[in-house]
Amino acid sequence: QEAHEAMAIAMNRLKGKSNSGEGGESDERLESAGTAHDRSSAIKQVASGRFGVTSRYLGSAKEIQIKLAQGAKPGEGGHLPAKKVYPWVAKTRHSTPGVSLISPPPHHDIYSIEDLAQLIYDLKNANKRARISVKLVSEAGVGTIAAGVAKAGAQVVLISGYDGGTGAAPLSSIHNAGLPWELGLAETHQTLIQNGLRKRVVIETDGKLMSGRDVAIAAILGAEEFGFATAPLVTLGCVMMRVCNLDTCPMGVATQNPELRKRFVGKPEYVENFMRFIAMELREYMAKLGVRTVDELVGRTDLLKKKEELSGAARRIDLSKILYREENVTFDPSAQYDFKLEKTKDEAVLLKDKAVLEALEKGKKARISAHIGNTDRTFATLLGAQLTRLHHNGLEEDTITIDCQGAGGQSFGAFIPKGLTLDLVGDANDYLGKGLSGGKIIVKAPKDAGYDPHENIIVGNVALYGATSGQTYIAGMAGERFCVRNSGAIAVVEGVGEHGCEYMTGGRAVILGTTGKNFAAGMSGGVAYVYDEDNKLYRNLNKGMVLMEKVENKTDREELRSILEKHLHYTGSKKAEQILANFEENLMKFKKIIPEDYKKLMGLTVMYEEQGMSREDAQIEAFYAATGNK
């Protein structure tokens, strides 16, 4: 924590940007933004795990980075061991202390370049002031991928090299995967020029840049911005022990252990001094090369040449493709992708409604109606972002209610905060409730619908991906990957496709119907209640990390009943009505799916609370008891 904050403070003082990484950022750090001791990272990362990605987190960013891969381990996901998930880490990541966390290898809302374009659009709606960056890794063909990323609307493309990067990556990946940044950078710069896309985007590169000379070479090969990690960490005390994943860093840099953190001796000033020396050396090289600005250096491969005094295999290396010089084209701000946010329903209708504006300013309740179509993508996200800007912790539940009729487009209600309720009569496309941040979403079929909602899909794939809090009630079935990485929302649906509740770390999911294959794979937290009428759940359940139990104890029964009553109240669901009409008998058909480690931690927490401890103290004691860290 201390090293991460020192980096942020240093870069904020230098008017540069530090990166949050994928673990979210605490409210205390977000609140420090703009102060003399600004610890808030300017770049907020959105990775496959979506840990800590809330409306407020996104709204605090100057740049939002979509991490598609890491240079040190391209194509792999991540795993934070249970013993590193300290209570304060769990709070930031919206998870459970002492329970391991898995980052999926892919983003489950990106299976095509069009899906990436949708996520970029979602994030731009969540913070229209922020630049949107996409992180790629140096590999053969990355130029073609970068061209697609530029067409999708990204404003920055980062090419990350194999060197440097995370010390927590597997050694097999560190030693064998990825390519040098020089190869990917040169290919990307040339490909974008050939496709007429170079003016649209800024190219950034990283991967163990260590000197002003490295920066000069990166600029010559096409980069306009440059990322550093290894070298600044060394200035803060890192001795490259390669134990980042073990929580045993002897210098207190890559550890959450309170005792080891006391050994941290780094200061923001050390990073500031290092970056100034980098800039000084870069200026010296620029003077030698006869250029006045970094922009003049970009793409000038005529300023690089192959060393003549080489021997052995080095003599046979052909650098002609890297040093090939295209026409001199660089980033032009006026050529950036136009998202046309002014044409969205949010800007054209919602944010011009007097009742909505009064609700935002004074917290008065407002209820309006809106007709929507499936071309209205990311509906209510701009409104939610404005609410978050004015009220960081949201408003009272149902302060603004929007009664929607029609077909919700992709990412309906993405990232909406507490105080905003969307009541949709109709159906919705993929990504409904993505990153839900306290808001409420209700979906029900029209009363005159010529179909049984319980037997039909009325919400698309990947609903509630990365939701952190809030409520969702769907009187019908959802597609695949429902509640993937849910970490705090309450969700009710009447049937799901394959991979439901995958990688879930918190919250509650109530499934009043069938489930597809691979249910609860990688689920490490939260609870799912499944109405298993045909006793087929056991076949579809991924049993690797979870237990299947009956709903027997009083707390679970009351919780389930309460959720069902709300579902009936909001949606008028016939299925919920039928179950509640004979609840005690139907209760026997429910199965409770709970992760084994999560159950153990919850049991320990309750035990310590019963001994008189506060919730926070009980969680800390449960963590130490379960992991043996103390």
Pairwise CA distance, residues 161 & 507, whole Å: 37
Report the candidate in 14, 13, 47, 8 with the shortest Cα–Cα distance to residue 29: 8
Helix and strand counts by DSSP (H, E) for the chain = 22, 20
C-alpha distance from residue 422 to each of 228, 428, 447 (Å) = 42, 12, 18
As a whole number, the mean pLDDT across the chain is 95
Q: How confident is the model at residue 458 (pLDDT cuts 50, 70, 90)?
A: very high
Domains and CATH numbers, the chain: 2-68+107-235+267-299+329-334 (3.20.20.70), 342-444 (2.160.20.60)
pLDDT at residue 130, rounded to an integer: 98
Q: How confident is the model at residue 70 (pLDDT cuts 50, 70, 90)?
A: confident
Q: How do residues 313-367 score in pLDDT, each as one tens digit?
A: 998 999 999 999 888 899 999 999 999 999 999 999 999 999 999 999 999 999 9
Q: Per-residue pLDDT averaged across 452-470, rounded?
A: 96
pLDDT at residue 182, rounded to an integer: 96
Task: Name the token pair of 399.
Answer: 């302060």
| Lowest-confidence region among 290-304, 367-381, 441-455, 537-551 | 441-455
pLDDT at residue 57, rounded to an integer: 98
Q: Per-residue pLDDT averaged across 96-114, rounded?
A: 92
Q: How confident is the model at residue 629 (pLDDT cuts 50, 70, 90)?
A: confident
Pairwise CA distance, residues 133 & 393, whole Å: 26
Q: Per-residue pLDDT averaged across 189-202, rounded?
A: 97
Question: Is the Cα torsion angle 281, 282, 284, 289 positive or negative in sign?
Answer: positive
Pairwise CA distance, residues 425 & 446, whole Å: 6
Pairwise CA distance, residues 498 & 119, whole Å: 22
Q: How confident is the model at residue 477 (pLDDT cuts 50, 70, 90)?
A: very high
Q: How do residues 381-436 score in pLDDT, each as one tens digit?
A: 999 999 999 999 999 999 999 999 999 999 999 999 999 999 999 999 999 999 99
Q: Per-residue pLDDT averaged across 72-95, rounded?
A: 87
Q: Does residue 592 surpass a pLDDT of 90? A: yes
Adjacent-strand bridge partners of 44? 64
Rounded to 5 degrees, φ, ψ at 507 are: 85, -170
Q: How do residues 271-291 score in pLDDT, each as one tens digit?
A: 999 999 999 999 999 999 999
Pairwise CA distance, residues 3 & 9, whole Å: 10
Share of the chain above pLDDT 70, in %: 98
pLDDT at residue 433, rounded to an integer: 98
Three-state secondary structure readout of 214-232: HHHHHHHCCCCEECCCHHH
Higher pLDDT, 398 or 167: 398
Q: How confident is the model at residue 167 (pLDDT cuts 50, 70, 90)?
A: low
Pairwise CA distance, residues 369 & 383, whole Å: 14
Q: Are strands 546-550 and 590-595 parallel, antiparallel or unpaired?
A: antiparallel
CB 487 within 8 A of CB 466: yes
